[in-house]
């Protein structure tokens, strides 16, 4: 078991991970806004008091805040960093026409969508670079052996079978198979496989295994009990790099959505989700494993940042997109009063989620066990 990384590495790695992800996210907003002629007052990486910054010739203040937990672009006409619309009637005409609220709804939609899209683009580029350098993991899901007494043995899976799908999801590679099964500890699954050129449909009840990473952290995963002949990778032609990287990014996005849904529906323990205290530690651990592992983890974080921002929660990009869809359907904006109350509700929801995840993080650090022993 590896020792936990020192606190200085955790801090530096967290800043090195979050800052570029936030920068790319906000850069997406900024560039598309600039494309549509929207002026930006502030481009901030981090919150709170400005550490350093500069003002460009367009009047945009580029700055770095002391709290590296996010960032924002404040366009002309925004009342706050959360892009709540302000009163643009009092602005001079030449400035008002460059303000965000007066732009057509489809332009505002694309400007907001550009942030999460930039995070997905960054992930695709990282995966494409890895596939070009090291090849793409592609181990055929042909069963080399079946573990005795395992769900696979009980379901009738044999050596030589080729697993095609699990619960309708493509499992034609062992990498996909492991990902699908790991997310479903203790669940019943339907498996379609090919045996002697014939398609066969089987059902299996997955077991639950407790695994430990190299830093001693434990988590629950599903297990089927089949083995491959060995890990394989294939060379990806240059023209296929971006499509394959996009597919891989899509697969990880689906896995992220499934993980969130399984947590909400109670099929996955909420204490296995990283919170604001656990995340820096995990980022530091990935950095301690080497630059290649760290960069791959950045791609995973970028996908998560893009996906979470697309959730239809006020205060997030997805909440704004939801309002713009309503505006397009109703052909008039949602009232400012309703938006204000919605943003307050979204802020309360996000604060509650952060509180829950922080409690989980403190539990994973053993705080509640120590308090229990003290009280007992």
Q: Which of 48-62, 85-99, 219-233 has the highest mean pLDDT?
A: 48-62
38-87 per-position pLDDT tens digit: 999 999 998 889 999 999 999 999 999 988 878 999 998 876 555 555 55
φ/ψ (deg, to 5) at 214? -70, -5
Q: Is pLDDT above 80 for 371?
A: no
Residues 366 and 374: beta-carbon distance below 8 Å: no
What whole-number distance in Å separates Cα of residue 201 and Cα of residue 281?
43
DSSP 13-29: HHHHHHHHHHHHHHHHH
The pLDDT score that the predictor gives to residue 28 is: 97
The predicted pLDDT at position 230 comes to: 75
Measure the CA angle with vertex 9, ends 8 and 12; round to 5°. Answer: 85
Centre a 10 Å sphere on the Cβ of residue 317 and count the other Cβ atoms it contains: 25
Model confidence, pTM: 0.85
Distances (CA, A) of 242 to 24, 120, 121, 135, 298: 18, 12, 10, 13, 18
- For the chain, list the domains and their CATH numbers: 105-136+241-376 (no CATH), 139-231 (2.30.42.10)
Q: Is 26 a catalytic residue?
A: yes
Tokens of 101: 């609220």
Residue 101 and residue 77 in contact, taking contact as beta carbons nearer than 8 Å:
yes
- Averaged pLDDT, 224-237: 86
DSSP 113-140: HHHHHHHHHHHHHHHHHHHHHH-EE--B
Helix (H, G, I), strand (E, B) or coil at 142: strand
| SS3 (DSSP) at 203 | strand
């Amino acid at each position: 078991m590896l020792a936990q990384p020192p606190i200085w590495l955790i801090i530096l790695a967290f800043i090195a991970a979050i800052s570029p992800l936030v920068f790319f996210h906000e850069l997406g907003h900024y560039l598309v806004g600039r494309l549509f002629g929207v002026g930006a007052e502030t481009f901030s990486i981090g919150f709170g008091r400005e550490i350093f910054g500069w003002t460009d010739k367009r009047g945009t203040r580029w700055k770095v805040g002391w709290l590296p937990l996010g960032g924002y672009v404040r366009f002309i006409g925004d009342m706050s960093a959360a892009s709540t619309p302000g009163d643009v009637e009092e602005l001079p005409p030449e400035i008002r026409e460059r303000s965000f609220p007066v732009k057509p709804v489809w332009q505002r939609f694309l400007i907001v969508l550009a942030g999460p899209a930039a995070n997905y683009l960054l992930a695709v580029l990282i995966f494409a670079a890895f596939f070009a350098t090291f090849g793409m993991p592609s181990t055929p899901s042909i069963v080399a052996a079946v573990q005795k007494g395992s769900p696979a043995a009980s379901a009738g899976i044999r050596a030589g079978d080729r697993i095609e799908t699990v619960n309708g999801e493509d499992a034609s590679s062992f990498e996909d198979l492991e990902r699908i099964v790991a997310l479903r500890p203790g669940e019943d699954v339907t498996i379609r496989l090919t045996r002697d050129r014939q398609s066969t449909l089987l059902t299996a009840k997955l077991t639950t295994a407790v695994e430990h990473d190299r830093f001693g952290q434990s988590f629950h995963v599903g297990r089927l009990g089949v083995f491959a002949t060995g890990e394989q990778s294939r060379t990806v032609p240059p023209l296929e790099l971006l499509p394959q990287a996009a597919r891989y990014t899509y697969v990880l996005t689906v896995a992220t959505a499934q993980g969130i849904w399984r947590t909400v529906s109670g099929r996955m323990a909420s204490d296995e989700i990283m919170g604001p205290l656990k995340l820096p530690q995990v980022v530091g651990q990935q950095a301690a494993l080497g630059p290649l592992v760290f960069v791959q983890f950045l791609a995973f974080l970028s996908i998560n940042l893009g996906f979470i921002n697309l959730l239809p929660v006020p205060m997030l990009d997805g909440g704004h997109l939801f309002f713009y869809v309503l505006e397009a359907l109703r052909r008039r904006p949602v009232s400012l009063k309703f938006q204000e109350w919605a943003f307050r509700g979204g802020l309360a929801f996000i604060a509650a989620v952060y509180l829950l995840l922080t409690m989980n993080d403190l539990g994973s650090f053993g705080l509640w066990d120590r308090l229990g022993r003290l009280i007992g």
